[in-house]
Amino acid sequence: MPLYRLDILTPYRRLYAGEVESILFRTDDGEIVVLAGHEPIAAPVVPCVLQVRGPDGNKYAAAAEGFVTITQTKVQIFLDAAEWAVEIDKKRAEEALERAEKRLVDGTMSWELTRVRYAAARARTRLATVAAATAKRSA
Amino acid sequence: MDTMRDIRVRSRSVKQSLQVTTAMKLISTSKLRKARRRLEETRPYFEAIRATLHDIAERSAGEATRWFDTKKDKKVRVCATIVITSGRGLAGGYNHAVTRFVESACPPGSILLPIGTVGKRYFMEKDYVLLEDFPVSAKEPSVQAARDIAAFASALFLSGKVDEFRVVYTRMFSSVKQEPEMISLLPLEAEKLEGGFHARPSSVSYTYMPNEEALFDLLAPKFLKGVIYGALVEAFASEQTARMTAMDAASKNAKAMMERLQLLYNRARQAAITGEVSEIVAGASALGD
């Protein structure tokens, strides 16, 4: 598979910089896989599991919201936050999800609702990332 | 002349001050190191976002104009300035430099948005309109804080209440030179976005999903957040440097004072001993007669 240059940038750090075969992420319209020579687009990215396929296998990361720009030569993904599967504290994410879901069921202040929903979404993305990474490893 | 006791009390208080200034210096040194690292980590993101925004702006068909200057011919422009100061004092000339800069750059009656309590307290007493103030954490600036500020500014701008936003922050040129600087935030200007990015091939034309305007609306707040966050981090690093220098000077002064007090103390002790000896001698000679 031909390789292309990928940069994943967040305000906190540069998550990835290097050559990859493909990357999978989710936009408003659904999941997109980008291979080398993709049509140039600029699109928003919604919270999802990123799957980076490089020369040394698959890597998974949890992504917050952001956007992507694709040119002939390289792909840049800008995210508000992102972390690799190995960096995710599974227990903490589970607890966070539980807490958020409890809040949603029990009801909470209306102004807190959005925040709680986001927290739940974040935790779910993290867990999905961990699940995807472990599934691949055992397979 | 002070007695031995007076000097001892003073010397103890100087010693305590010295402990405080030394500790503060150490703290700001480590915070500065952190801030510098943060600045380096965050720079690639914002430089790239800026380049992308410029790319889109340049090739845009003019759909996303609401972030740009639509009121060029308007006579009276409402201009607001975001002023970044520190949350705590004892930072040498850091805050003073910023407030003085603002006073010379903004005529009385201007709208200010102070960030940091020191600036807020100062401008409250002056002839300025404070629209809203934002506290800063003493630990380090967060992207969250930058987002809140950016959201506030863009809401005011898009609703047309404010025509222009500027940021005053302290730029760190080197560890010995920090100076206040003003940058313009809104409206966006295509030429200004460029800022050092010319090498990009402009032949690419993106397909925008879902469309250009929506994407621009997504990008612009991220860009603003980035500029504000960058300014916050830079100001934070400057603040720590200023505090470090100030505390270093204070520690040196305290040490010099300790030495002087020690000398005075020794003299006072010697004087007391001499006094006692001469009393004894005088007493003995009185008895011997």
For chain A, the domain total comes to 2
- Residue among B158, B165, B201, B200 nearest B183 (CA): B165
Q: What does the pLDDT average to over B262-276? A: 92
Selecting from A29, A43, A76 the residue whose C-beta is nearest the C-beta of B48 gives A76
Domain that holds residue A101: 89-138
Q: Indicate if A71 and A8 belong to the same structural domain.
A: yes
Last residue of a domain, one of A85, A101, A121: A85
Phi/psi-derived region of residue B90, left when phi > 0, alpha when psi is between -120 and 50, beta in every other case: left
* pLDDT score recorded for residue B211: 74
Judged against a pLDDT cut of 90, whether residue B18 lies above it is answered with yes
Which residue segment(s) compose the domain that B134 sits in? 40-245
User: Does the global pTM surpass 0.90?
Assistant: no
pLDDT tens for B185-223 read: 777 765 555 554 444 545 556 777 677 777 777 778 888
Q: Are residues A21 and A73 in the same domain?
A: yes
Residues A44 and A67 in one domain: yes
Of B205, B206, B214, the CB nearest to A69: B206
List all residues 6 or more positions away from B225 whose beta carbon is below 8 Å from its beta carbon. B143, B146, B147, B150
Question: What is the pLDDT confidence band of residue A119, given thresholds at 50, 70 and 90?
Answer: confident
State the nearest Cα–Cα gap between A134 and chain B, in angstroms. 29
Interface of B with A (CB under 8 A): 41-42, 44-46, 48-49, 52, 55-56, 143, 204-210, 214-215, 218-219, 222, 226, 229
* Domain annotation covers residue B19: no
Q: How confident is the model at residue B17 (pLDDT cuts 50, 70, 90)?
A: very high
Q: What is the mean pLDDT of residues B78-86?
A: 84
Of A10, A42, A72, the CB nearest to B208: A42
- A·B CB contacts under 8 A: 70
The reply to whether A32 and A12 lie within a common domain is yes
Distance CA A16, CA A64 (A): 15
ipTM of the complex in this document = 0.73
* CB atoms A76 and B52 under 8 Å: yes
Residues B178/B172, Cβ–Cβ less than 8 Å: yes
- Output the six-digit token pair for B219: 């990008």
Domain boundary among A85, A102, A127: A85
Tokens, residue A122? 């974040």
B269/B4 Cα distance (integer angstroms): 6
**Chain B residues lying within 8 Å of A32, measured CB to CB:** none
**In a shared domain, residues A127 and A66:** no
The nearest CA of chain A is from the CA of B115 a distance in Å of 20
The phi and psi torsions of B203 (rounded to 5 degrees) equal -75, -20
* CATH number of the domain enclosing A22: 2.60.15.10
pLDDT at B278: 93
Which residues of A are less than 8 Å from B41 in CB distance?
12-14
Picking from A70, A85, A100, the residue at the C-terminal end of a domain is A85
Do residue A29 and residue B210 have CB atoms under 8 angstroms apart? yes
- Of A55-69, A93-107, B194-208, which range is least confident? B194-208
CB contact under 8 A, B207 and A78: no
On whether any CB of chain B is under 8 Å from the CB of A28, the answer is yes
Helix, strand, coil in percent for chain A, rounding step 5 = 35, 40, 25
pLDDT, residue B73, reads: 61
Asked whether residue B6 is domain-assigned, the answer is no
CATH number for the domain that contains residue B157:
3.40.1380.10
Rounded to whole angstroms, how far apart are CA atoms B257 and B11? 8
Residues A107 and A81 in one domain: no
Do A51 and A116 belong together in one domain? Answer: no
Same domain, yes or no: A79 and A110: no
- pLDDT of B238 reads 86
The interaxial angle of helices B117-124 and B94-105, nearest 10 deg, is 50
Name the domain count of chain B.
1
* Inside any domain, residue B15: no
Q: Is residue A122 domain-shared with residue A60, that is, in the same domain?
A: no
Instruction: Tell me what pLDDT residue A54 has.
Output: 83
Of B235, B239, B172, nearest to B29 by C-alpha is B239
Q: Give the closest-approach CA distance of B209 to chain A in angstroms.
A: 5
Give the pLDDT confidence score for residue A55 in this predicted structure. 81
Q: Is residue B252 domain-resident?
A: no
Tell me: pLDDT of B268 over 80.
Answer: yes
Query: Among residues of chain B, what percentage have pLDDT more than 70?
Result: 85
Judge whether B143 lies within some domain: yes
Work out the percent of chain B whose per-residue pLDDT is above 90. 19
Q: Is A64 left (phi over 0), alpha (psi -120 to 50) or beta?
A: beta
Highest mean pLDDT among A23-32, B14-23, B137-146: B14-23
